[in-house]
Structure 1
Amino acid sequence: MKIQCIERDIRQILESGTYIIPRFQRPFSWEKDHIEEFWQDTTSDVKKDYFIGAFVTYNINNTAYGVVDGQQRLTTITIALCAIRDKYKELGFDAPAKGVHRLIVTRDLDDKSQFVLKAETSYPYFQSQIQSLDKERDVIEIGSEEGALRDAYALLSKYVAEGVLEIQAQGENIAKTKAAAKKWLDQIRDKLLSLKVISITLDNQDDAYLIFETLNTRGKDLTASDLAKNHILRLLPAKGKDLDRAKDHWRDIQKNLEESKKVIETTTFLHHHWLSKYPFTTEKLLFKAIKEQVNKTNVKDVIEELKIDSILYRGISEPGSLNLWTKGNKDVQDSLLCISDVLNITIANPLLLTVLRQFNAKNLKDGQVREIFGLVEKYHYLYTTISALPSSGGVTQMYAVHAREIANAATPNEMGICINNFKAKIKSKVPPRDTFITKFKLLSYTNTRQRDVIRYTLWKIYKSMFPAVDVDRGSLSIEHLAAQAAGGASVHSIGNLLAVPTKYNGDVLGEKSFAQKRQLLTDHGYALEAFIKNSKIWTAAEIEQRSSDLAAYAYDTAWVIK
């Protein structure tokens, strides 16, 4: 590996060629704190020869380089220069504006303009909305990287504008004030351009892949997903300039995750994908495991699996995004949605991913998926949501172990054995009845964080008590049997609450008496529990009794693991 090292300033870097963000690099991701720290470090009383770290590139040709380390810094400096250029132009200083612009957009030997820093993943936003001197008015779709670039440009433009305003506020003579503003802009421009780096140039892209694994960019460490992407793309080189299927697949994976309504970190997805198929490893050691397992013989299969799994993984939190559900298994979809949406469980995701993968491949039947999802839902409702018992690392490994067993089941008989083993394990972890009942009775509508759980609880119990009645959880609202105006702590306890269709709440039931509400619900065909139907009055004693009855029914029937 041939390496050339030389000290350079940023101006020399920008004047010596063009720089391409290569396929293995992550998108621009600096946030406000990184931008703010970099601006203060590089523009506030900067001493001569201020050093900002290594800048590692590899040769593409005599005047073009791929960026290995320094992407975030070089992009930020380019954005800052764009902000300074635009302020020059705004104040009427066309010559220095064009001078700075030549460090952003240069011309090749055929006198064609080209950007000094070329970023493919943020095209065309970065080029048209930030780098160009004349901004385009076209509406461009904003992804996460474009949003980070937009915010960086806005913040750096704000710093530049504030600096100019501060200078202008110090003078009364317009001409002198304008000249002072230009002088300040000149100083900021020169400070940025005089920043020092150790420029390290590698011979080729293969060397760049190897170096990338050992480097961190300023402010943000490389994640396991950054390193995994680098490793996979190194094993799958592009087939010419216009065909890079590996990079296309990786872009699709990230797009599938980014389009989720819930935030899904790529590293989290990779870790859960790994746990669903391969031996257990921590997130910290994930890249090491990937590097040992993924090689030239299996890398194509791996990236194809990741692409499919990214769709399925999104479907854990958004079951409606998957084409797996029919009228006959809608309850399975509901169960998955309850796990992710109401119970907010992610620890079981490796197992859920394996089940969706096997179901998608038609290796699992509706009933088997229903049973597995039901076990996860029941266990976490009993153990975590209500009993508030901690999920240990042992639970993480439990899900990983059973995920791999189900993933590797070769026959229907083996699959049945795997499901029974998982069921036995879950059954052994169910909390004591007394613990559950005590905690269940503490559910209160005054606790806003418990309201979704209460709505889910009453819906699940109602479905269990009246299985013939089709009830949509999303169409239910909570009604107080004893009016809230009655006061008292018991009014908001679960024993006084009823999940009813939204159309009954408000004007229909309102602040009516218990007897009136009961009669109205009966007249509307709403099925009532025997205890409510048979109660002559509704006081704190009845509320307490119903709380106990619901708790016992929940543990013994609605969420029982048989």
Structure 2
Amino acid sequence: MGMLNSTLLKLGSFLGNGKLYIPEYQRGYSWEEMQLDDFWIDLVQIYEENTRDEHFLGQVVIHKNKEDSKRYIIDGQQRISTAIILLDILRTKFKEIADSKNNNDANDDAEDINTRYIGRVSETKKEQYLSMGGVDKEFFIKYIQARGPINYNDKKFEKKRLKPSNYNIFYASKFFEDKISKFITKKTPNEYIELNKLYQCLINQFILMTVETDDINEAYIIFESLNARGKALETADLLKNHILRKAHNDLSSATETWNTIIDNLDNIDPTKFIRYYWNSTKKFAREKDLFKSLRKDISSQSDVNTLLSNLRSLSKVCAAILHPDDNKEFDLTELNERLLEMQKLDASSYIPIIFALRLQNYSEEDINEVLKAIETLIVRNFVVSGLVANKYELEFAQIAKSISDKTWPPNSDSSSSKMPTKDDILKKLYSLMVSDEEFINNFRIFNSKKNAVIRYLLRKINNFDINETKIVDDSNRVHVEHILPKKINDEWINFNDEDHETYLWRLGNLTLLGQEYNNRAKNKGFDKKKEIYKKSEIKMTRDLVSIDDWTTFTIVKRQEDFAEIALRIWPRN
């Protein structure tokens, strides 16, 4: 028969839908503190947000064996086992509250967890709903599924005394017991009410994508497909499923459009692309929250049509931004050239702004001017001043949304509707840039080991005010040359080891040189290098010939001169 069903289910609905088995050949329980902490943080975030928003927990692939009629978990055993471990701690805590406070509701919750999700397990009964495989089965029954608290200080639980997967189960139980105990302590005297809210978040707002088949080969094909490249199911895959469900009568057209979008992206990660779009038009979303936001907002066939239309239009723009060598979406030559420069800076957080400008039909000349300001900001703030790009990702998204919403300035009241002009956007970008004083001071001491960044900066400095022989950016033809070389010999008497380490990667000690000259220069002394430099067609390299001696002072002075030029190349207008 093959595929039986594929659907999104609440964790509680999934666990309460019949017995589950872990195949004997599956690896044991392997989650450690990092994975447990992620699980807990996601749960607490839902609780603290106090909304009905859902959290995607992951996928579960089930094989329903025709021979014994049992349902085996092929993929997803770690998260399901973890959910049972947490439910055991919740069951224990509810029982403790029931006994100490004579709280019937808490007792009911403990019983519900027992009868719906874990099963009745005692010395005489083994009616658990999840049967572990291999060496974990009896340990899981005895210490997780059987009722009652664990003495975590008992020496029999020492790591050296347990099999690795058994210890991981014990540690997960101890981890959640500690988290829940601290959670309850903070909620006195309303510990039951708040613990119940947390419990409801777990069973009703953690969502699983379940795939069930009665063909074992198909189960493993699905498993391998969902875990391609070692990743969990991507947001883009979840979105595709959601879109196609909402497309209704337009299913065929929606599928065709989706496939066109993926083709246009030219191997760009669809999830990243969708997030760029989302942050250009909607409330800012981190990647982990993207599907939740999409699922909430895209709720009708009309929403699907608008989304797919915009994604199809922007997929070519995204390819032109991230693969500018191969994709020329824009007619303006200068804009395409600037995109090549942005690629060398490895910048992408600005993309929502370009998407918003494109969707609102700004001219290519305006887009180019805005991108020029963004390039300047990236050089001044990120490349030279070392500020963290993540902080500006939100700023860029807010600018983009303000363009899309026609509400300027960003974060203003929606009643103050205004389509920003190019100059409005430029003014905002300039306001985010570090001051001239900070930029020039940072440039004077700038150093980097990133060849692409070094080549970009030196090429821009060399080409400034040159109209004829400009450097082409070809890493195979033009190399970064260390004037003071990586390995020094007796010819470099002006530099001790400390100086060498300090000044080797300073921009003032670097220049650009053709490959054939670079190979010949290598570790030679400065006088011998100058004989090679004077044959170069690169102006900044030929200029070195007029310098008598190479010292720390020379490096500092040269870099200070570069800083003055940099202020004119990347101005804060």
- TM-score bucket of the superposed structures, by smaller chain: 0.5 to 0.7
1:157-196 → structure 2 map (5 Å cutoff) = none
**Aligned-partner residue type, residue 369 of structure 2:** E
Q: Paired residue for 1:364? A: 363
| Distance (Å, rounded) in 2 between the aligned partners of 1:364 and 1:355 | 8
Q: Paired residue for 1:299? A: 304
Q: Paired residue for 2:353? A: 351
1:475-486 → structure 2 map (5 Å cutoff) = 475=475, 476-484=478-486, 485=488, 486=492
TM-score (norm 2): 0.55
Q: Does 1:541 align with 2:567?
A: no
**Aligned-partner residue type, residue 551 of structure 2:** T
| Distance (Å, rounded) in 2 between the aligned partners of 1:290 and 1:313 | 23
Cα-to-partner distance string for 1:465-496 (whole Å, 9 max, x where unaligned): 42432322223211123445224333442112
Cα-to-partner distance string for 1:494-553 (whole Å, 9 max, x where unaligned): 11211123232112x334443444454433433237963543333222211101111221
| Distance (Å, rounded) in 2 between the aligned partners of 1:525 and 1:258 | 37
- Say if 1:316 and 1:43 are closer, same or farther in 2 by CA, change over 3 A: farther
Q: Offset of 1:461 from its aligned partner?
A: 0.9
Q: Is the 8 A contact 2:444 2:560 kept in 1?
A: yes
**Aligned-partner residue type, residue 553 of structure 1:** I
* Cα-Cα RMSD: 4.7
Q: Paired residue for 2:474? A: 474
| Distance (Å, rounded) in 2 between the aligned partners of 1:498 and 1:12 | 62
Aligned residues: 386
Q: Where does structure 1 lack aligned partners over 5 or more consecutive residues?
A: 19-27, 53-67, 76-102, 106-114, 131-142, 150-219
Q: Is the 8 A contact 2:482 2:504 kept in 1?
A: yes
- Say if 1:16 and 1:464 are closer, same or farther in 2 by CA, change over 3 A: farther
- Say if 1:116 and 1:279 are closer, same or farther in 2 by CA, change over 3 A: closer
Q: Does 1:336 align with 2:447?
A: no
| Distance (Å, rounded) in 2 between the aligned partners of 1:491 and 1:235 | 59
Q: Paired residue for 2:430? A: 427
| Distance (Å, rounded) in 2 between the aligned partners of 1:36 and 1:302 | 37
- Say if 1:383 and 1:309 are closer, same or farther in 2 by CA, change over 3 A: same
| Distance (Å, rounded) in 1 between the aligned partners of 2:209 and 2:302 | 32
**Aligned-partner residue type, residue 419 of structure 1:** K
Q: Offset of 1:276 from its aligned partner?
A: 1.4
**Aligned-partner residue type, residue 244 of structure 2:** L
Secondary structure at the counterpart of residue 539 of structure 2:
coil
Q: Paired residue for 2:571? A: 560
Q: Does 1:104 align with 2:109?
A: no
| Distance (Å, rounded) in 1 between the aligned partners of 2:418 and 2:515 | 42
1:301-340 → structure 2 map (5 Å cutoff) = 301-324=306-329, 329=333, 331-340=334-343
Q: Is the 8 A contact 2:534 2:542 kept in 1?
A: no
Q: Paired residue for 1:235? A: 246
| Distance (Å, rounded) in 2 between the aligned partners of 1:37 and 1:440 | 51
Q: Offset of 1:118 from its aligned partner?
A: 9.9
- Say if 1:477 and 1:529 are closer, same or farther in 2 by CA, change over 3 A: closer
Q: Offset of 1:401 from its aligned partner?
A: 3.7
Q: Offset of 1:382 from its aligned partner?
A: 0.4
Q: Is the 8 A contact 1:224 1:287 kept in 2?
A: no
Q: Paired residue for 2:267? A: 259
Secondary structure at the counterpart of residue 523 of structure 1:
coil
- Say if 1:380 and 1:320 are closer, same or farther in 2 by CA, change over 3 A: same
Select the residue among 371, 374, 387 that pairs with 1:373. Answer: 371
Q: Paired residue for 2:201? A: none
| Distance (Å, rounded) in 2 between the aligned partners of 1:70 and 1:389 | 39
Q: Paired residue for 2:66? A: 15
Q: Is the 8 A contact 1:478 1:498 kept in 2?
A: yes
| Distance (Å, rounded) in 1 between the aligned partners of 2:308 and 2:297 | 15
Q: Offset of 1:305 from its aligned partner?
A: 1.8
Q: Paired residue for 1:506? A: 519
| Distance (Å, rounded) in 2 between the aligned partners of 1:238 and 1:464 | 58
Q: Is the 8 A contact 1:466 1:527 kept in 2?
A: no
Q: Does 1:436 align with 2:433?
A: no
| Distance (Å, rounded) in 1 between the aligned partners of 2:140 and 2:394 | 52
- Say if 1:388 and 1:43 are closer, same or farther in 2 by CA, change over 3 A: same
**Aligned-partner residue type, residue 557 of structure 1:** R
Secondary structure at the counterpart of residue 354 of structure 2:
helix
- Say if 1:474 and 1:533 are closer, same or farther in 2 by CA, change over 3 A: same
Q: Offset of 1:258 from its aligned partner?
A: 7.7
Secondary structure at the counterpart of residue 479 of structure 2:
strand
| Distance (Å, rounded) in 1 between the aligned partners of 2:263 and 2:80 | 25
**Aligned-partner residue type, residue 335 of structure 1:** R
Q: Is the 8 A contact 2:132 2:140 kept in 1?
A: no
Secondary structure at the counterpart of residue 276 of structure 1:
helix
Q: Is the 8 A contact 2:354 2:367 kept in 1?
A: no
- Say if 1:224 and 1:503 are closer, same or farther in 2 by CA, change over 3 A: same
| Distance (Å, rounded) in 2 between the aligned partners of 1:370 and 1:417 | 16
- Say if 1:248 and 1:44 are closer, same or farther in 2 by CA, change over 3 A: farther
| Distance (Å, rounded) in 1 between the aligned partners of 2:514 and 2:63 | 70
Cα-to-partner distance string for 1:445-470 (whole Å, 9 max, x where unaligned): xx53x433222211111122424323
Q: Paired residue for 2:451? A: 451
Q: Offset of 1:374 from its aligned partner?
A: 1.4
Q: Does 1:276 align with 2:274?
A: no
Q: Offset of 1:319 from its aligned partner?
A: 1.7
**Aligned-partner residue type, residue 364 of structure 1:** S
| Distance (Å, rounded) in 1 between the aligned partners of 2:65 and 2:74 | 21
Secondary structure at the counterpart of residue 65 of structure 2:
helix
TM-score (norm 1): 0.56
Q: Is the 8 A contact 2:382 2:389 kept in 1?
A: yes
Q: Is the 8 A contact 1:478 1:499 kept in 2?
A: yes
**Aligned-partner residue type, residue 381 of structure 2:** Y
| Distance (Å, rounded) in 2 between the aligned partners of 1:514 and 1:277 | 56
Q: Paired residue for 1:403? A: 400
Identity of paired residues, percent? Answer: 19
| Distance (Å, rounded) in 2 between the aligned partners of 1:148 and 1:225 | 16
- Say if 1:471 and 1:248 are closer, same or farther in 2 by CA, change over 3 A: same
Cα-to-partner distance string for 1:223-243 (whole Å, 9 max, x where unaligned): 76565444422221266xxx7
Q: Is the 8 A contact 2:530 2:545 kept in 1?
A: yes
| Distance (Å, rounded) in 2 between the aligned partners of 1:227 and 1:373 | 32
Q: Offset of 1:399 from its aligned partner?
A: 1.9
Cα-to-partner distance string for 1:325-360 (whole Å, 9 max, x where unaligned): 56x61x533432443442x333212113334556xx
**Aligned-partner residue type, residue 430 of structure 2:** K
| Distance (Å, rounded) in 2 between the aligned partners of 1:49 and 1:483 | 62
Select the residue among 228, 253, 256 that pairs with 1:245. Answer: 253
Q: Is the 8 A contact 2:280 2:356 kept in 1?
A: yes
Secondary structure at the counterpart of residue 536 of structure 1:
coil
Q: Offset of 1:36 from its aligned partner?
A: 12
| Distance (Å, rounded) in 1 between the aligned partners of 2:422 and 2:239 | 32
Q: Is the 8 A contact 1:480 1:491 kept in 2?
A: yes
Q: Is the 8 A contact 1:30 1:148 kept in 2?
A: no
Secondary structure at the counterpart of residue 281 of structure 2:
coil
Q: Paired residue for 1:42? A: 133
Q: Is the 8 A contact 2:533 2:545 kept in 1?
A: no
| Distance (Å, rounded) in 1 between the aligned partners of 2:63 and 2:432 | 65
**Aligned-partner residue type, residue 504 of structure 1:** Y
